[in-house]
Chain A
Amino acid sequence: MAETSFGSVRGRLVQLGRAATAVIEEYGYWVTLLGESLYWIVVGPFKRRPVRLSATVAQMVSIGIAAVPIVFMLSFAIGVMLAIQGIYTLRQFGAETQVVLGIALSVVREFGPLITGILVAGRTGSALAARIGTMQANQEIDALRVMGIDPVRFLAAPVFIATLVMVPALTLFSDLAAMFGGAVYCQLELGLNHVAYWDQATSFIVINDVTQGLIKSLVFAVIVALVGISNGFAVTGGAEGVGRATTRAVVASISYIVLADMLFTYFLNR
Chain B
Amino acid sequence: MSANHYAIEVEDLVAYYGSRRILDGVSLQVGYGEIMVIMGGSGSGKSTLLRHLLALQTPRSGSIRILGRDITTASADMLHELRQSIGVSFQGGALLSSLTIGENVALPLREHTRLDDSIIEITARLKLEIVSLGGFEHLYPAQLSGGMIKRAALARAMAMDPKMLFFDEPSAGLDPVVSSELDDLIIKLRDTLGVTIVVVTHELESAFKIADHITVLDHGRILISGTADIVRNSSIERVQDLLHRRSRPIEISADDYLHRLTGG
Which positions in A face B, CB cutoff 8 Å?
49, 134-135, 138-140, 142-150
Contact = CB atoms under 8 A, between A and B. Distances in A.
A147 B56 contact: no
Contacts of A150: 80
Contacts of A147: 83, 88, 107-108, 111, 156
Interface string B105-124: 00110011000000000000
A144 to B, nearest CB: 8
A97 B88 CA distance: 70
List the 7 shortest-distance A-B pairs measured between CB atoms, nearest first. A148-B83, A143-B94, A139-B94, A146-B88, A139-B90, A148-B80, A147-B108
Contacts of B90: 139, 142-143
Between B88, B94, B97, the greatest number of chain A beta carbons within 10 A of the residue's beta carbon is seen for B94
A142 B84 contact: no
B207 interface: no
Contacts of B83: 145-148
A140 B79 CA distance: 19
27 contacts: A134-B97, A135-B96, A135-B97, A139-B91, A139-B92, A140-B95, A140-B97, A142-B54, A142-B90, A143-B90, A143-B94, A143-B96, A145-B83, A146-B54, A146-B55, A146-B56, A146-B88, A146-B166, A147-B83, A147-B88, A147-B108, A148-B79, A148-B81, A148-B83, A148-B108, A148-B111, A148-B112
Contacts of B111: 49, 147-149
B86 interface: yes
B92 A138 contact: yes
A144 B96 CA distance: 9
Interface size class of B (residues with CB under 8 A): 20 to 34
B18 to A, nearest CB: 12
Contacts of B96: 135, 140, 143-144
A149 B88 CA distance: 13
A148 B112 CA distance: 8
Contacts, number: 52
Contacts of A134: 97
B88 A143 contact: yes
Interface in B189-241: none
B142 to A, nearest CB: 11
Nearest to A141: B94
A146 B97 contact: no
A146 B95 contact: no
B44 to A, nearest CB: 20
Nearest to A55: B98
Nearest to B108: A147
A74 B64 CA distance: 57
A147 B111 CA distance: 9
B94 A142 contact: yes
A146 B84 CA distance: 8
Contacts of B80: 148, 150
Q: Which of A49, A139, A145, A147: most chain B Cβ within 10 A? A: A147
A142 B56 contact: yes
Given A145-B56, A146-B56, A140 B94 contact: yes
A148 B56 CA distance: 11
Interface string B151-165: 000001000000000
Contacts of B91: 139
Max chain B Cβ within 10 angstroms of own Cβ: one of A134, A146, A149, A150: A146
Contacts of A148: 79-81, 83-84, 108, 111-112
Given A142-B94, A144-B96, A148-B80, 6 more contacts: A140-B96, A142-B90, A143-B94, A146-B83, A148-B108, A149-B108
A138 B156 CA distance: 16
B89 to A, nearest CB: 9
Contact of B107 (A135, A142, A149): A149
A146 B54 CA distance: 7
Contacts of A145: 56, 83
Contacts of A142: 54, 56, 90, 94
Nearest to A58: B98
A142 B88 CA distance: 10
